Structure 1
């Protein structure tokens, strides 16, 4: 689509919106904010080229491609910030801070928060108790069938939408059996998990439950809901985890929806979410939204001290350190609340280490990180959906998950459960196979989304079983 035609389309849309009284400010600001934030994270956390991040992650999302000729972004490497505008308007800015990633700037003073002492903390507050999964070198598959499985997952389409696979890590019996990375990505490259971050929030809540600071059955400790006449005061932590809170925080990723506004336009994301009214009785209706996990993120922040630095030390000490996750960035809003709905970046190996924590029933080596029974709770079915409590489960269910995606992976064992994020982020845990498969990318085609993950994991299982049979046959000779 050429620039002139794009301008004509936008002019027509703006004229029509004026006639109909439709406000386009929010979706255009959301689009601008999405571009600023993700280009910033991709550039300064992942170390990717900003033009590639825009082309592969931002431009193909929703209707952004329609107005791409009007979008301008500027990357200031000295100040470590990204500024985006649309048609010279709808300006947003994201700023990077060492160790805390990128944050959208809503007030002039927010730009200073990235360098504030509140975000500084001592790295290495605890040592890993988990066995190492590989040496420093990339682990090449020894099995040709396994190599072929990775070849298929990385094979790119000749025309858009593309798969854009960035990383795959296969962990069998606690060791990496194979891994592969796209050009510009390596074993230490931190990649955005999008909503796979919700599964990390599940772990942080689990740790607080183990410590006796929270209970999943207690009413969510949200100050704005304490009045017993407020029907929201009975929403439990369990209902937030299971996406059954009943709150009016609809998520369509259209830019018009309240969840998009919360993430990209609000300085205090949890403050916005806690004002949502009930549209269904808590526990009775499943509705996927980042809002529930932003509220859980605020609960975590308040339970560990109330500041971003408290959160970061808690996460390092209680989760990252013991599990051995070395290359991780959890991002925050300007109030010090982590974006536990969609903004953790980690290396593919670290996402695999996180999967191993759940494969090993919440244990890291000999240390219990998650409460006994937490993994079973997290992977148990919510109502009649394919969702558990922060994880997707591999049970057949009617209907579709959000955005028309199927609930599960039909060619993968039923006991599998997985963390899943936008654009094809998958951390698949298969207990019956002692297996974790991580697939990360910037995908906009089904072959790179859940259908592709289904085939990848099925191919990996078949390859490993083939290798095992060959080994057994050799031993019998």
Structure 2
């Protein structure tokens, strides 16, 4: 048995349609797979079992470009077990209760360079790659920093149209790279995941023009409705534009550039995989597949300032700026940086729908990475308990320090 699949949410293009993979080897697995194969084009309409099946297999269900790792990997030594329970709204959950409620596939907590907590569920293990969704945005942000260091992008204040000339005459006239990174372009956009007519549902369904990335074809039809830099609006399409900026500037695919500058040099244990759109470009706002430990390794690289040995990959102070509030999102104590969600205590996070995340707390030398499959794409019912878990880990570490 072989099957095809198409997806449209978050710009996972209809290029997926017709992609085929081999079915599981046993008859029992074969029968299970038949019922779990997603058939709807919209990932938000998939059932829990369909997402359980697909999320660790996205590299088989869609066209991808490999992010090659290096010859050595960064060891993650084990430390003493960290005891964590989660309290929210007066109710306390054990760790297992929390993980079950989150439908977590994997979580790893690294403190002072040691693995203090690690759990796998839903058939996942240490080698399972899992799709990242918008966690990929923070990888794309790092590539902007690398391209500045390498001299390919002049600065964050460079105009987007200098790198994507096809946007000239659109709502992106006068918009800078910085404003794309902080999602403050002022351009109209609808990120409603439940609306099949929203921009986020439609923007990668366009017919690609020769020599033009599909996202550019769509995004250049949008109008400006606010002065650039004056309004924050979450916009996955603009992260995809950032990807086009970087790819055009460096003259190579994003996966290759990420491999050369970061992935192959920071000790990732496995290759990553990055879904590409109908035009063959990586979907910069989504869809890297990696192990939860490799997501954590990236978090360590970020927390350590973006250095590989004595070489600086991103500008000095990049992550201090990227991980601090650059835009007000209207939630007390939180903000948005350069494709990172920020907290006023100095912590920041990469966050993806359905429960993907990398939480970084430089003050505590702490990284938490998680993969999962929430029953809902994005809802406070699940996102707030995840933040409560992050806070519980911080509190457990603080309690140890006080002893």
User: Shorter chain as normaliser: what TM range?
Assistant: 0.7 to 0.9
Residue 48 of structure 2 is aligned to residue 102 of structure 1: no
1:32-111 mapped onto 2 (5 Å cutoff): 50=33, 64=45, 102-103=62-63
Residue 105 of structure 2 is aligned to residue 166 of structure 1: yes
User: What does residue 148 of structure 2 align with?
Assistant: 209
User: What does residue 6 of structure 1 align with?
Assistant: none
Q: Is the 8 A contact 2:8 2:43 kept in 1?
A: no
Q: State the 1:29 CA deviation.
A: 8.4
Please list the CA deviations of residues 180-233 of structure 1 after superposition, one character each: whole Å capped at 9, or x if unmatched: 111321112111111111101001111001112111110012112346xx6633
Q: Give the TM-score, by structure 2 length.
A: 0.77
Given the alignment, which residue of 312, 327, 345 partners 2:255?
312
Please list the CA deviations of residues 365-393 of structure 1 after superposition, one character each: whole Å capped at 9, or x if unmatched: 44322210111221232332221110001
Please list the CA deviations of residues 63-82 of structure 1 after superposition, one character each: whole Å capped at 9, or x if unmatched: x37xx8xxx99x9xxxxxx9
> CA 1:390/1:40 → structure 2, altered by over 3 Å: closer, same or farther?
farther
Given the alignment, which residue of 190, 193, 196 partners 1:255?
196
User: What does residue 368 of structure 1 align with?
Assistant: 312
Given the alignment, which residue of 179, 183, 192 partners 2:118?
179
Given the alignment, which residue of 359, 362, 371 partners 2:303?
359
Greater helix proportion = 1
> How many residues are aligned here?
361
> CA 1:168/1:29 → structure 2, altered by over 3 Å: closer, same or farther?
closer
Residue 265 of structure 2 is aligned to residue 343 of structure 1: no
Aligned partners of 1:316, 1:58: CA distance in 2, in Å? Answer: 33
Aligned partners of 1:326, 1:364: CA distance in 2, in Å? Answer: 16
Q: Is the 8 A contact 1:426 1:453 kept in 2?
A: no
Q: Is the 8 A contact 1:164 1:443 kept in 2?
A: yes
Given the alignment, which residue of 284, 297, 300 partners 2:246?
300
Aligned partners of 1:197, 1:41: CA distance in 2, in Å? Answer: 22
> CA 1:36/1:247 → structure 2, altered by over 3 Å: closer, same or farther?
closer
User: What does residue 397 of structure 2 align with?
Assistant: 464
Given the alignment, which residue of 363, 370, 382 partners 2:326?
382
Q: Is the 8 A contact 2:7 2:13 kept in 1?
A: no
Gaps of 5+ in 1: 1-27, 76-81, 83-93, 104-113, 157-162, 396-413, 471-477
Aligned partners of 2:80, 2:40: CA distance in 1, in Å? Answer: 32
Residue 234 of structure 2 is aligned to residue 274 of structure 1: no
User: What does residue 326 of structure 1 align with?
Assistant: 269
1:111-260 mapped onto 2 (5 Å cutoff): 123-124=68-69, 131-134=74-77, 142-145=81-84, 150-156=95-101, 163-214=102-153, 215-220=155-160, 221-226=163-168, 232-253=172-193, 254-260=195-201
Q: State the 1:345 CA deviation.
A: 1.1
> CA 1:140/1:302 → structure 2, altered by over 3 Å: closer, same or farther?
same
Q: State the 1:260 CA deviation.
A: 1.2
Q: State the 1:120 CA deviation.
A: 7.8
**What SS does the corresponding residue of 2:264 show, helix, strand or coil?**
helix
1:396-475 mapped onto 2 (5 Å cutoff): 414-444=345-375, 449-469=382-402
Given the alignment, which residue of 206, 209, 232 partners 1:286?
232
Aligned-residue Cα RMSD (Å) equals 3.9
Task: Say which structure, 1 or 2, has more relative contact order (CA 8 Å, 6+ apart).
Answer: 2
Whose radius of gyration is greater, 1 or 2?
1
